Amino acid sequence: MTKSAKTVAIVAIGAAVLVTGVLVVRDLLLRRPSVVRCPDGSHPAIDIRDFTTQYWTYSVKLEASVADRAKISTELDPKTLEQVSESLQEAREFRKYVVAGYNSCAITQAQYGQFETRFRALDALAREINTLLSKPALPQEESTKLPGLIRQYGDLAKQLGSQ
């Protein structure tokens, strides 16, 4: 490699590092919580990324686990799997609506509290289902419990998404 090629490579790497650093710093500065003043009082604005991380991590894992389990075993009804997938999509869209509504004062703090309780319930169900699905073999009791939990999750997600 020639000296000029090395210089160009070092400058390109330096530029890439600089651009990445600027983007990270900008992102951190933009994520500072701001306060939204609404008729029902002031509240901190919610960053959809934080909300997603807090309440939907297990739902994403659940979707992958259910799909994997369906490939491994035919214990789960395909209709139930389809229902979970659809309800997850509806709830995902509703999540965006809730955050946007809260940040624009269309959803009050009290309404947001009710939705947050439901999101926590979904998260708890997803954790329980993920725990069962992570086991290599399920005892009979847990095996019969799993489809009910999945239906319950789907129903709650669908209910949440239809509001």
pLDDT digit string, tens, across residues 42-51:
888 887 776 6
Share of the chain above pLDDT 90, in %: 2
Closest by CA to 129, choosing from 74, 81, 91, 162, is 81
* pLDDT given for residue 55 in this prediction: 57
Residue with tokens 């509290």: 113
137-162 pLDDT, tens digit each? 777 787 778 778 878 887 887 777 66
Q: How many helices (H) and strands (E) does the chain have?
A: 5, 2
User: Rounded to the nearest 5°, which phi and psi values hold at 19?
Assistant: -60, -45
What is the C-alpha R_g of the chain? 22
Query: Is a pLDDT exceeding 50 seen at residue 61?
Result: yes
Dihedral of CA atoms 94, 100, 106, 107 in degrees, nearest 10, equals 60
Tell me the C-alpha to C-alpha distance, in Å, between residue 64 and each of 79, 85, 133: 16, 10, 10
Measuring CA to CA, which residue among 114, 19, 135, 149 is closest to residue 69?
Answer: 135
Say if residue 107's pLDDT is above 80. Answer: yes
Q: Give me the pLDDT at residue 66, please.
A: 60
